[in-house]
Amino acid sequence: MTMRELTFTAAAREALAEEMARDPSIFVVGEGIGQRGGNFNTTTGLYDLYGPMRLRDTPIVERGFIGMCTGAAMTGTRPVVDFMFVDFILDAVGELINQVAKIQYMSSGRLKMPMVLRGSIGITGASATHHSGSYFPMFVNIPGFRVVVPTNAYDAKGLFKTALRGDDPVIFLEHKSLLNSKTLVPEEEYFVPFGRAAVVREGTSATVVAVGSMVRKTLEACETLAGEGIAIEVIDPRTLAPLDTPTILQSVHKTGRLLIVDETFQPCGIGAEIAAQVVAHGFDDLDAPIMRLNGVYTPTPYSPPLEAAVVPSTVQVTQAIRDLLAE
Amino acid sequence: MTMRELTFTAAAREALAEEMARDPSIFVVGEGIGQRGGNFNTTTGLYDLYGPMRLRDTPIVERGFIGMCTGAAMTGTRPVVDFMFVDFILDAVGELINQVAKIQYMSSGRLKMPMVLRGSIGITGASATHHSGSYFPMFVNIPGFRVVVPTNAYDAKGLFKTALRGDDPVIFLEHKSLLNSKTLVPEEEYFVPFGRAAVVREGTSATVVAVGSMVRKTLEACETLAGEGIAIEVIDPRTLAPLDTPTILQSVHKTGRLLIVDETFQPCGIGAEIAAQVVAHGFDDLDAPIMRLNGVYTPTPYSPPLEAAVVPSTVQVTQAIRDLLAE
Amino acid sequence: MITPTLTTAQYLALYRQMVEIRRTEEQLAKAHQAGLIPGACHTYVGQEAIATGVCAHLTHEDAVFSTHRGHGHALANGVTPREVMAELFGRVTGCSRGRGGSMHLFAPEVGMMGTSGIVGPCILQAAGAGYSARLLGNGTVGVAFFGDGASSNGAFHEGLNLAAIWDLPVIFVCENNLYATEVPFSYATRNTDMAERARTYGMNAYTVDGNDVLAVYAAAGEGIRRARAGEGPTFLDCKTYRTRAHSEGMPSLGTYRTQEELDAWKARDPITTYRTRLLTEEVAFEADFALIDTEVQALVDEGFDFAKSSAYPDPVTVAEHIFSDRQ
Amino acid sequence: MITPTLTTAQYLALYRQMVEIRRTEEQLAKAHQAGLIPGACHTYVGQEAIATGVCAHLTHEDAVFSTHRGHGHALANGVTPREVMAELFGRVTGCSRGRGGSMHLFAPEVGMMGTSGIVGPCILQAAGAGYSARLLGNGTVGVAFFGDGASSNGAFHEGLNLAAIWDLPVIFVCENNLYATEVPFSYATRNTDMAERARTYGMNAYTVDGNDVLAVYAAAGEGIRRARAGEGPTFLDCKTYRTRAHSEGMPSLGTYRTQEELDAWKARDPITTYRTRLLTEEVAFEADFALIDTEVQALVDEGFDFAKSSAYPDPVTVAEHIFSDRQ
Ligand SMILES: Cc1ncc(C[n+]2csc(CCOP(=O)(O)OP(=O)(O)O)c2C)c(N)n1
Ligand SMILES: Cc1ncc(C[n+]2csc(CCOP(=O)(O)OP(=O)(O)O)c2C)c(N)n1
Ligand SMILES: [Mg+2]
Ligand SMILES: [Mg+2]
């Protein structure tokens, strides 16, 4: 395979470009995704190729264009909703939960819902409380969504391609702190399947499931600990729905210890679900309490020192692993 | 204390009537809550006492009137939003999460948000997928809400009174299958505090945390099992945010076994949070895996046999307890 | 002579369609009293001319989106009385396989893309069907049926605007029956001229006598012609009245309607007035109507027996089709 | 003579207010380039006449709700330049204690009930303040400032309608600067006459030259008089232009604005035109302006030093005030 370095954003854009070239029924809606190419350069260059019908700038009507795309997806086209910041689609939750997630079921599979909803998440850069949410637990809780949280360029492209080939609604969440991070990406076409976690580091001392931007910080923490002969296994779920529980159980079977690191809110979060799965199905493997490290349970403050206090740091991840091992 | 029997609905209405008589800044908005007295008789008789300014029929604009009540709560009045079915406020999630839940924090406590949002939840009576949701995990996940799920008339009145005296946004969820259930309610004024679970049955064999309509079914199951000398402790959390974790941990310390029974969806649900809390802080007390019994992970079907297949039955609860004890 | 000029067969087809809706719903009302309908039942009695006049222009490739009062729209689109009745009885032979009931009628094979228990979304989804039609260039149209109550909702504003600015082939049909449950339209807005409001979006709009099937047929015909010709959306404000209760089991007058008002509208019954008109204009004769009435009654009776004797869905299928098979 | 007739002091107060906003934001723009502002910065340069003309009529008991471009509204309401600059620098002395930044300015003590990073909610919240005013009978008004981009959003439709049908004392101020980021208003709607649209809600509405502070002052004065007199809401469509980039750091022309257009509007700068006018009409003289300019510059310089030297918030306070103390 011929490889080249791409940023997360470029890799995801390449996936979109390839699929738009292949499938004329794909169109993108969003604010500034036309000529401007997207607030996060998600569509740069595509407007010149495909024009306004397929790269559709919208007024500020998140509910409106998501509801519109629902009808479009029911009638033979494949909308890609580029919502810029996930915070904005909260105005469309009624359409998402009551319509998008339920149409296939209510029609007994006679209607499909091939819609990809993509945009940025995460606390970084003093983006404050209306531009820093993640909000994925609500979409994991509700049946009918695929929830994808890529953590590197390779996965971003492969998962986005999978999203655009499927017939289910996909919530594709891109952490702002990862958008410019680079990895090697093959020239050749490839897909990353949903529901397949990545074991990004092997180890035997304990298992850490890290979500989104926490993968990098966890790997940094593991480097430090490796020096002390501590071998941590790190799992990146990649998709939160479906969640690859078997891979997590397998790892805990080996290590006997589990920590879940997640920037987002703890109560009823993804860490709670993972802990509940493991204590139900991996109970006998557990040598210690399952621990969770989450961002502080508060709206996101603007001021850098406050923001820094909210997001789990590499130091905190390291300490959390030490605490787990001390149990 | 002089007691009389009241239905859940009558008790909650009594709380509202008492508080409206006491506090002229309380007003109610909703569809049909004026002269009609509410689709679920939540306001019967109050319109004649207080008129249209305080019992305000609205057009079908859930986002609109919740956004309006947000501004009202910031300027000296106490809105009670009567949304009939919780499914309808999904159109207002943007207002709820980005505004209602954050205003106190963003203003550093200089603004209050005394808003009570009340309405029905639950799968029953072939209400189908747009009139049967519960959707509380999303409000538990987000900082800024009190989430109240009363299971009997006594608690309904006492918790509603507490809600109307506080300055925080309260999501007050009334399960349709409980609205006409009766319990004894004192004539005298009383309050049920938030964050205090009720141990509704004491036992030593295992702990079952039952949510909402599942409390009754669990108690039925316990009757059956009592005949076999099995003594189950049953806990009704009453409020999901704040969640009374100490009471649950105490019980598990005694029983060593935990089952969470919840009609709503399992992934990232309240059962996940409870399991995660207990495996983190009660690990050494656990003699068996923590189990969850939830409604089927699917949109709510209409047809009675399908609906019945979705909601956990008393028989299923009984079996789940047996399975837990067999571990 | 009456306009538009149709063949006798066409005139009678409109009559037949209206009668089919009426008889089916009279049967449903009886069935509801008899306890055969486990859930809600919103009848369309008095409004039959609207669905009939609009859908007479549609093919099964066109996409119709409807609301909680959708029996008439399903029937006028070619869903059979047996499928509608079976659905409300919760049977597997229903158009939604028993999963939907009165408010969730799906039959995409005939272009019935679904009715909804949530007020509003159909407006946006019809715009989406229009978007697909433009992108695919297949000459189809999207049609939304909704009530006056939906016109205050944000979905109305966002949906009409999107259809207008992008010249989408969409017909917005407001069934303005003067009330939203018990809330009068004149209370919900200071401007009851909905066609005028629609024109402020830069959209073609007509005010139509919704009890005159020929007036609806003519206005809808022009709107659909324009839509197929690429001349953009059309709005129809169809003035009508529901002569039964909002929902079966509720009072037909309630606290909000007078007997006089009800009687006045019953005197303008769309079926009897149309029948009289065809008779006086000698377009058709008693024998024609008698024949149709008998045929329709037979169809409805047969459908009722079919529905009543149909099986319930198998509970093992309860969670099927939440996701597409395609991965 | 120029209308309205004010005292020289009043004429000059309007000038002073506009200059204070302009100088503060020029300072902020410099600070942004210097890296003193960790987050976003949306300036109000070119639009100062609007906040100035409206807020001149308000007391600190009136409630103002604003949007992402809110510096001018905060300043015109009496928030000091030092508090605004400190806020954007993320300091504890900022009006939001450093929790908000450019898009989240809170100062309820002067009636600044908050700006929002989400487009739309301010419209609904202002209606709610109007509702409180009516219920409490305290003669206050609610004011919403928002952009042309918000007018396509459902919140606009729902909020204007509720204010209209309930005669709420609310002023809706649309700052129509022709673009929503890069999306032209003429693209977002087929009807750019927003006052006409507002009137279709049965609301009093004026089209105003948003660069003429006296025109704004007069129109707002009449609207507020009506509101306080119980004559219901008023809508102001203020035509204006932002002469800087949508957000500091973005190109000021981008792909969507021409140099000609920008220059034409700069020639109509609200401050210089007003100054010239007062001079020609001999209402005031160079010396008056010179004095004000110096005083304001001193105020801004002092504020900048204050802000720059202020402390950051203490991380231990990060989760305070999510809930009220009151239980
Ligand atoms: C978003 C939402 N809010 C509230 C309801 C409850 N509801 C069901 S029907 C109805 C009235 C609808 O009135 P209208 O749109 O005029 O239709 P009609 O019933 O008169 O045919 C209401 C409020 C709902 N279904 N959806
Ligand atoms: C609900 C929502 N969607 C999208 C955005 C992103 N956004 C921020 S400002 C803006 C443009 C707003 O335009 P307008 O309302 O005209 O105000 P202006 O910036 O021109 O002052 C957009 C789309 C947002 N803040 N909120
Ligand atoms: Mg109606
Ligand atoms: Mg603008």
Local confidence pLDDT in tens for the 327 residues of chain B: 899 999 999 999 999 999 999 999 999 999 999 999 999 999 999 999 999 999 999 999 999 999 999 999 999 999 999 999 999 999 999 999 999 999 999 999 999 999 999 999 999 999 999 999 999 999 999 999 999 999 999 999 999 999 999 999 999 999 999 999 999 999 999 999 999 999 999 999 999 999 999 999 999 999 999 999 999 999 999 999 999 999 999 999 999 999 999 999 999 999 999 999 999 999 999 999 999 999 999 999 999 999 999 999 999 999 999 999 999
pLDDT band at D293 (very low <50, low <70, confident <90, very high): very high
Among candidate residues D146, D147, D172, the one with its CA nearest the CA of residue D160: D172
pTM: 0.98
Strand partners, A82: A30, A118
Least confident among B276-285, C66-75, D86-95, D318-327? D318-327
pLDDT value at position D326? 59
Torsion angles phi and psi, residue B124, rounded to 5 = -170, 150
Q: Describe the strand order of the beta sheet including A146-148 as a list of residue ranges.
A: A55-57, A26-30, A78-85, A116-121, A170-175, A146-148, A239-241
Would the CB atoms of B299 and A106 count as touching at under 8 Å? yes
Residue D319 confidence (pLDDT) above 70: yes
* Nearest by CB: C201 against D155, D165, D191: D191
* Nearest by CB: D200 against C153, C155, C191: C191
Tell which of B55, B56, B303 to mutate to test the C interface (max C CBs under 10 Å).
Answer: B303
Catalytic residue among B131, B174, B233, B273: B131
pLDDT value at position A303? 98
Q: In Å, what is the CA distance from B201 to each residue of B197, B210, B218, C197, D156?
A: 12, 11, 10, 60, 51
Q: What is the SS3 string spanning C42-88?
A: CCCCCCHHHHHHHHCCCCCCCEEECCCCCHHHHHHCCCCHHHHHHHH
pLDDT band at D2 (very low <50, low <70, confident <90, very high): low
Residue D179: CB within 6 Å of ligand 2?
Answer: yes
Catalytic residue among B14, B19, B31, B62: B62
**Pairing between β-strand C179-180 and β-strand C183-184 as defined by DSSP bridges:** antiparallel
- Ligand nearest to the Cα of D121, by number: 2
Q: What is the mean pLDDT of residues D241-267?
A: 94
Would the CB atoms of B109 and D124 count as touching at under 8 Å? no
pLDDT value at position D3? 65
pLDDT value at position C2? 57
Element (H, E) at A248: helix A245-255
Would the CB atoms of B276 and A281 count as touching at under 8 Å? no
Q: Where does A142-232 have alpha helices with state H? A: 153-165, 214-226
DSSP, residue by residue, D80-129 = -HHHHHHHHTT-TTSTTTTSS-TT---BGGGTB----SSSSHHHHHHHHH
- Ligand 2 pocket mutation pick from A40, A57, A60 by most atoms within 8 angstroms of CB: A60
DSSP character at residue A231: -
Would the CB atoms of D152 and A61 count as touching at under 8 Å? yes
Provide the 3-class DSSP secondary structure of residue D52: helix
Among candidate residues C241, C225, C231, C197, the one with its CA nearest the CA of residue C50: C241
Question: Number of residue pairs across C and D with CB atoms under 8 Å?
Answer: 63
Q: What is the mean pLDDT of residues D194-200?
A: 95
What atom of ligand 1 comes closest to residue C117's alpha carbon?
A: 25
Would the CB atoms of D114 and B25 count as touching at under 8 Å? no
Residue of chain D whose alpha carbon sits nearest to that of A31: D183
Question: Number of residue pairs across B and D with CB atoms under 8 Å?
Answer: 162
Residues in C closer than 8 angstroms to D203, CB to CB, are 190
The residues of A annotated with a catalytic role in the active site are 62, 131
Question: C-alpha D91: how far from its chain's center?
Answer: 22
Distance CA C16, CA C289 (A): 8
- Ligand nearest to the Cα of D122, by number: 2
pLDDT along chain C (327 residues), means of 10: 80 98 98 98 98 98 98 98 98 98 98 98 98 98 98 98 98 98 95 94 97 98 98 98 96 91 97 97 96 98 98 98 81
Among candidate residues C71, C77, C52, the one with its CA nearest the CA of residue C115: C71
- Ligand 1 pocket mutation pick from B31, B60, B88, B90 by most atoms within 8 angstroms of CB: B60
Q: Is the peptide bond before D4 cis (omega within 30 degrees of 0)?
A: yes
pLDDT value at position C326? 58
Would the CB atoms of D90 and A304 count as touching at under 8 Å? yes
Tell which of B141, B146, B171, B290 to mutate to test the A interface (max A CBs under 10 Å).
Answer: B141
- Ligand nearest to the Cα of C146, by number: 1
Q: Is B36 on the interface with C (CB under 8 A)?
A: yes
Positions in chain A whose pLDDT score sits under 70: none
pLDDT value at position C75? 98
Predicted ipTM beyond 0.95: yes
Contacts with A88 (C-beta within 8 Å, 6 or more apart), sequence order: A62, A119, D118
Distance CA A147, CA A118 (A): 10
Is B253 catalytic? The answer is: no
What is the whole-number distance in angstroms between the Cα of residue C237 and the centre of ligand 1?
Answer: 17
Mean pLDDT, chain A, whole residue set = 98
Q: Is the peptide bond before B242 cis (omega within 30 degrees of 0)?
A: yes
For A175-200, the pLDDT digits (tens) are 999 999 999 999 999 999 999 999 99
What is the whole-number distance in angstroms between the Cα of residue C181 and the centre of ligand 1?
Answer: 7
pLDDT value at position D5? 87
Residue of chain C whose alpha carbon sits nearest to that of A72: C128
- Ligand 2 pocket mutation pick from D48, D181, D244, D248 by most atoms within 8 angstroms of CB: D181
